[in-house]
Amino acid sequence: MNRNEALFARAQRVIPGGVNSPVRAFRAVGGTPRFIVRGRGSRIWDADGREYLDYVGSWGPLVLGHADPDVVAAVHRTAECGLSFGAPTELEAEMAELLVRLIPGLDLVRLVSSGTEATMSALRLARGFTGRSRILKFEGCYHGHADSLLVKAGSGALTLGLPDSAGVPPETAAQTLVLSYNDTAQLDAMFGEFGSSIACAIVEPVAGNMNLVAPRAGFLQRLRELCTRHGALLIFDEVMTGFRVALGGAQALYGVQADLVTLGKVIGGGMPVGAFGGRREIMEKIAPLGPVYQAGTLSGNPVAVAAGLATLKKVQATGFYDSLAATTRSLCEGLTGAARKHGIPFSAQAIGGMFGMYFREEPPSTYAEVMHCDKQAFNRFFHAVLERGIYFAPSAYEAGFASAAHSMADVAATIAAADDAFGSL
Ligand code: PMP
C-alpha cells in the first residue's frame, strides 16, 4: 500500500468517504485520490512524492497558481496581527471598494465565506425584495448546496448520479423551476406561465459544473429581457466565472447586466471568501439596513480577505486575461490536435482561463449533449494522463482551470502527455 492509499484508508475511517467534498473521492473515475502535500505555481506534489501539472487549481480559485509569493506574504502579514475579530476591519472596505469598481452593476456588496453562502443569501434577498417565492434555475447548473438550489444540479451531484439530494423537502424543491440551459423557447414558455410568481432566475453565465457549456448567442440577453419584463431579479452566479473569464466576469464578457451577482473562488485567492452584491435598492434590504437576515461569524475574515486582495491586485495587470486566455486556448487546441492524430472523437474549448474537454466531435451546448459524451473514454484518459503527471478534474462533468503560472512549456508538456495517453487508449 502506498502512502496515498494508506491516507485514504485512514481518512475513510473517520470522514464520510474519506473526503470533505464528494468529487475529491475519485468515485466517478475510480482509483485512489491523491493526497496533496504541497503546491507551487502550476504544480502539485502528492503524498508519494509524485509531481503533477495541475488543472484543477483548487476548483478555480488559484488564478495565479499555487502559493503565489505575494498572496502568501499577505496572509503571513495579516495573520501576525490576529486571525479574526468579529468586528469590522479596513481590509473589508478595501475589498468591497475593489469589487464595486471592477464588477459591473455592483453598488453594494456583502462578504461571506463560501460560494454556497453567497448564492443562498442572494436567493433569500431576491425573495425578500420581490415578495415572491418561485425561483428559476437551469439543469446542470450548480449553485452550491442550499436546499432550493440542489435541484437538478451539476458538479458532485451530477458526478455521483444524484441530481437531486435526499433531505431536500419536496415543498422546498417545488418552488424551484428547472429549465434546459440554452433553451430560449422554454424560457419564454416558463415566464409566460409563471412570470408573476418568479422571484429570480439564477444562472451560471458560463456553465462550469456540467463540464463547460458556453451560453448560446442571445440566451443570456433573452433571460435578461424576460426577468425585466416580469419583475423577476436576474442573478448571475459568477462564483466560478468571476475574475476567471475576464476582469469584469461574464457580465463584461457578454455585455449582460444582472441585478445580483454572486462571487467566490478567485476573490479569496484560495482562502474562504464569497460575496454577493448588486443594485443599491436591492442590497439595502439586507440586515442591518433592511428585513432580510444574513450574517456570519467569520464573514470578511481578515486573513482570507488579504489573500483575495493580493490576488485581485495582480489580475488587474495589463494583459493578464489576454495572456491567461491565450494559454488556455493553446492547451485546448493542442489537446484537440493530439486526439485527432489518434482518431479519437474529442473536442475542447476555452473561455478565458477555464476550459472544457469533451469526448465527442463538437463542444456540447445542452445538458443532454453533455450526457452523450463518452464518459468511459474520459475516465480512461484521466488515468492515462494522471500516470503521466497531469492532474485534470476527476470527473467528466467539471470544467478545467489554467493559471497565470502555467507556462507555454507546461502546456506543451501537457499536450505531449495527452498525445501519449490518447495513443494508449
Ligand atoms: N456557484 C458556482 C457556479 C460554483 O461553481 C460553486 C462551487 N463549485 C458554488 C456556487 C459553490 O461554492 P462553494 O463550493 O464555495 O460553496
Q: Where in the chain is the domain with CATH 3.90.1150.10?
A: 3-67+318-424
Nearest ligand 1 atom, CA 155: 8
Cell of 138: 437551469
The pLDDT assigned to 151 comes to 85
Distance from the alpha carbon of residue 345 to the mean position of ligand 1, in angstroms: 30
- The amino acid occupying position 302 is P
Identify residue 405 by its one-letter amino acid code. A
CA distance 30 to 51: 20
DSSP string, 297-329: TTTT-HHHHHHHHHHHHHHTSTTHHHHHHHHHH
Q: Do strands 134-138 and 198-203 pair parallel, antiparallel, or not at all (unpaired)?
A: parallel
- What pLDDT, on a 0 to 100 scale, did the predictor assign at position 161? 57
**Residue nearest ligand 1's atom 1 by CA:** 143
| Cell numbers at 119, concatenated | 448564492
Regarding the domain delimited by 70-315, which CATH topology (the fold level of the hierarchy) does it fall under? Aspartate Aminotransferase; domain 2 (3.40.640)
Ligand 1: lining residues by beta carbon, under 6 Å = 59, 114-116, 119, 142-144, 155, 204, 208-209, 237, 239-240, 264
Sign of CA dihedral 206, 114, 305, 403: negative
Task: Tell me, in angstroms, the distance from the centre of ligand 1 to residue 340's CA.
Answer: 33
Q: Kindly give the parts of the chain with pLDDT less than 50.
A: none
Give pLDDT, residue 28: 94
Residue 153 has what pLDDT?
81
For ligand 1, pick from 211, 240, 245, 273 the residue to mutate: most ligand atoms within 8 Å of CB: 240
Residue pair 230/130 in contact by the 8 Å Cβ criterion:
no
pLDDT tens digits, one per residue of 210-260: 999 999 999 999 999 999 999 999 999 999 999 999 999 999 999 999 999
Report how far residue 315's alpha carbon sits from residue 95's, in angstroms, rounded to the nearest whole number: 14
User: By three-state DSSP, how is residue 193 classified?
Assistant: helix
- Catalytic residue list: 142, 237, 265
Which is the closest atom of ligand 1 to the Cα of 114?
A: 15
Distance 339 CA to ligand 1 centre (A): 31
Q: Is 88 exposed, middle or buried (0-12, 13-18, 19+ CB in 10 A)?
A: exposed
Local structure of 130: helix, strand or coil = helix
CATH classification for the domain delimited by 3-67+318-424, as one of 3.40.980.10, 3.30.465.10, 3.90.1150.10, 1.10.10.10: 3.90.1150.10
SS3 116: helix
239 CA distance to ligand 1 centroid (A)?
6
Residues of the chain with CATH 3.40.640.10: 70-315
The proportion of the chain whose per-residue pLDDT surpasses 90, expressed as a percent, equals 94
Q: Which atom of ligand 1 is least distant from the CA of 21? A: 14
